[in-house]
Amino acid sequence: MSERGVYIGRYVVPKDREYYEIRNPADTRQLVAKFPKLTREDTRGTIAIAKDAFLKWSKTLPVERAKILYKAAEIIESRANDLAKLLTMEEGKTLADSMFEVIRTVNLLRFYAGLIVKDMGKVIPSQDRNTIILTTREPLGVIAVITPWNFPLSLPAWKIIPAIATGNTVVWKPASITPTIALELVKAFYEAGLPEGVLNLVTGPASEVGDELVTNREVDAITFTGSLQTGREINEKVGRQNRFVRIQLELGGKNAMVLSKNGDANLAVELTVRSAFGLTGQACTATSRFLVPEDMHDEVLSKLIERTKKVVVGNGLRQGVDMGPLASREQYEKVLGYIEIGKNEGAKLVYGGQPIKGGEEFDYGYFVMPTIFDQVTPDMRIAKEEIFGPVLAVMTYRTLDEAIDIVNSTEYGLIAGIITRDISEAAKFAENVKVGVVKVNKPTIGLEPWVPYGGVKGSGNDIYKEMGEEAIEFFTRIKATYIGY
Ligand code: ADP
């Protein structure tokens, strides 16, 4: 029985809906599951259920909610191996990377469970005698959560967990290609004792299900992660409705790693390879530009190519694999398309640039070689646009100021990294790059859940942060109460 259901208040496997197939991107002969294509009406009904469930859920005590989160953490932890395997079969990333998502989810559950029983407001001294002024944080209502496929478990988790923890209810639309792992997360919550209707899962086309979530007036806040283009569409749709609703948009990145002349070239190469080709480049936090001092170029490029040759590509379930397939045919074609664009723009292809075919392991999956372009200039499309695949652009610079200008020259502003032993240089870089996260001698990939995250410019609408204590700000509003006595 490969047909799976959705959560519309409770778990249902709709009888009269069309189903679509989820296939393993490493081996498309393998069917992972089938999910229903829900309609606009189904989505509307689910929002109504979530609205109703809010009445009770918002009045539960934080300790009661925390108890459910701790229990869900325990359940997910006990299933870690199976969940990681399922995630790899559905999305393609390596087992180690999938396990990282599972553990991150467990950590997020425990972090927010602890956080919500702590202070949720403040007391402000009044200018009047016999007066107490206090602020409290209240949940907003129904939150629409719309998520991409590249982190199909931990990314939704860092939205859903603080939303629910603070007393909101959720209608979640996972990316169409990764609903199976999504369903497992929702199941764990209900097994942990979550009341019906608090977390709902709807699958189906973005044009119906996604559009209804964005435009339905009963939705109190929208949190979205995905492409810049879709983020803009959502923003425009809500704007046209002239509706006062919170929107959190986390969009793409075109992250640069800068090797300083005072930095360790071997470390730069190691971290760049890991951040460019790990996760098959399918991370908002991936490194897609590598900036090297002009006079170190030849030496660094040959180290980079040597190191990249060691990247093992294959089925993520196999031990020792560093890089899985692209997650879908669409991604595969997009990445190959950008490789052609790079060649036509005059960048020099120095490694990879091909699909991988041959044998049982590769013939049925979306495998592409790790790819390096040299002599990339800031005006080229491969230096500006988010490719979301294992394609790295090598660029050169002369001074740190010039490097910072290049870092800032795209419409994105998510993460920037520098490799240096000079603390003044690190500080200057951190101060002047227009991004939400700076990494010094660390890979651009890899975020910690207790740290606020979010981009600037085209990387997000830059109002609220995700993760950390700061996530609470998006999912709650502040009320001020004056009490005279
Ligand atoms: P990705 O390449 O990560 O799929 P998208 O921005 O296309 O990036 O999609 C991210 C999520 O947003 C997915 O769940 C997708 O189904 C959903 N989505 C796409 N278009 C829309 C839209 N117009 N309205 C609402 N949701 C959408």
pLDDT band at 119; cut points 50, 70, 90: confident
The reply to whether 409 and 478 lie within a common domain is no
**Looking at the domain assignment, is residue 204 inside a domain?**
yes
What's this model's pTM, rounded to 2 decimal places? 0.97
Query: What would the pLDDT profile of 242-296 be if each residue is shown by its tens digit?
Result: 999 999 999 999 999 999 999 999 999 999 999 999 999 999 999 999 999 999 9
- Predicted confidence at residue 157, as pLDDT, reads 98
| Ligand 1 atom index nearest CA of 150 | 3
- Residue among 372, 412, 376, 366 at smallest CA distance from 391: 372
Instruction: Answer for the pair 126, 132: CB distance below 8 angstroms, yes or no.
Output: yes
Q: Is 370 in the pocket of ligand 1 (CB under 6 A)?
A: no
Place of tokens 């990879």: 352
The reply to whether 374 and 402 lie within a common domain is yes
Q: Is 235 in the pocket of ligand 1 (CB under 6 A)?
A: no
Alpha carbons 295 and 307: distance in angstroms, whole number = 20
Q: How far is the CA of 174 from the centre of ligand 1 (A)?
A: 9
Which CA distances in Å does 291 have to 8, 405, 420? Answer: 49, 11, 13
Residue 392 domain boundaries: 255-440
Q: How far is the CA of 182 from the centre of ligand 1 (A)?
A: 15
Q: How far is the CA of 230 from the centre of ligand 1 (A)?
A: 6
Q: Is 284 among the catalytic positions? A: yes
Q: Is 230 in the pocket of ligand 1 (CB under 6 A)?
A: yes
The pLDDT of residue 1 is above 80: no
Q: Is 211 in the pocket of ligand 1 (CB under 6 A)?
A: yes
Residues 6+ away with beta carbon under 8 Å from 295: 261
The reply to whether 476 and 434 lie within a common domain is no
Query: What would the pLDDT profile of 405-463 be if each residue is shown by its tens digit?
Result: 999 999 999 999 999 999 999 999 999 999 999 999 999 999 999 999 999 999 999 99
The reply to whether 156 and 37 lie within a common domain is yes
The reply to whether 238 and 275 lie within a common domain is no
Question: What are the φ/ψ torsions at residue 276 (nearest 5 degrees)?
Answer: -90, -35
Percent of the chain with pLDDT over 90: 99
The reply to whether 215 and 278 lie within a common domain is no
**What Rg, from alpha-carbon coordinates, does the chain have?**
23
The reply to whether 243 and 335 lie within a common domain is no
Alpha carbons 293 and 273: distance in angstroms, whole number = 18
Place of tokens 């500080």: 427
Question: What are the φ/ψ torsions at residue 101 (nearest 5 degrees)?
Answer: -65, -40
Q: What is the CATH number of the domain that holds 20?
A: 3.40.605.10
Q: Is 234 in the pocket of ligand 1 (CB under 6 A)?
A: yes
**Looking at the domain assignment, is residue 447 inside a domain?**
no
The reply to whether 137 and 264 lie within a common domain is no
Percent of the chain with pLDDT over 70: 100
**Looking at the domain assignment, is residue 452 inside a domain?**
no
**Looking at the domain assignment, is residue 203 inside a domain?**
yes
Residue nearest atom 13 in ligand 1 by C-alpha distance: 175
**Looking at the domain assignment, is residue 423 inside a domain?**
yes
The domain tally of the chain equals: 2
Q: How far is the CA of 231 from the centre of ligand 1 (A)?
A: 8
**Looking at the domain assignment, is residue 446 inside a domain?**
no
Query: Mean pLDDT in the chain?
Result: 97
Q: Is 233 in the pocket of ligand 1 (CB under 6 A)?
A: yes
- Predicted confidence at residue 17, as pLDDT, reads 97
Query: What would the pLDDT profile of 369-390 be if each residue is shown by its tens digit?
Result: 999 999 999 999 999 999 999 9
The reply to whether 163 and 24 lie within a common domain is yes
The pLDDT of residue 323 is above 70: yes
- Strand positions, DSSP E, 347-434: 348-351, 371-374, 391-397, 412-413, 415-419
Query: What would the pLDDT profile of 58-106 be if each residue is shown by its tens digit?
Result: 999 999 999 999 999 999 999 999 999 999 999 999 999 999 999 999 9
The reply to whether 375 and 401 lie within a common domain is yes
The structure tokens listed for 378 are 């800031």
Q: Is 306 among the catalytic positions? A: no
Catalytic pick from 90, 91, 101, 250? 250
The reply to whether 203 and 162 lie within a common domain is yes
Alpha carbons 53 and 164: distance in angstroms, whole number = 12
Catalytic pick from 90, 184, 284, 466? 284
- Predicted confidence at residue 414, as pLDDT, reads 98
The pLDDT of residue 43 is above 90: yes
Question: Given ligand 1 and candidates 43, 91, 146, which is best to mutate, with the most ligand atoms within 8 Å of its CB?
Answer: 146
Residues 6+ away with beta carbon under 8 Å from 102: 76, 77, 80, 83, 84, 87, 153, 154
**Looking at the domain assignment, is residue 450 inside a domain?**
no
Helices within 363-399 (DSSP H only):
381-384
Q: How far is the CA of 71 from the centre of ligand 1 (A)?
A: 31
| Ligand 1 atom index nearest CA of 225 | 10
Instruction: Answer for the pair 196, 11: CB distance below 8 angstroms, yes or no.
Output: no
Q: Is 226 in the pocket of ligand 1 (CB under 6 A)?
A: yes
Q: How far is the CA of 178 from the centre of ligand 1 (A)?
A: 12
Q: How far is the CA of 224 from the centre of ligand 1 (A)?
A: 8
The reply to whether 245 and 263 lie within a common domain is no
**Looking at the domain assignment, is residue 449 inside a domain?**
no
Helices within 79-125 (DSSP H only):
80-91, 95-115
Q: Is 214 in the pocket of ligand 1 (CB under 6 A)?
A: yes
Q: Is 146 in the pocket of ligand 1 (CB under 6 A)?
A: yes
Q: What is the CATH number of the domain that holds 264?
A: 3.40.309.10
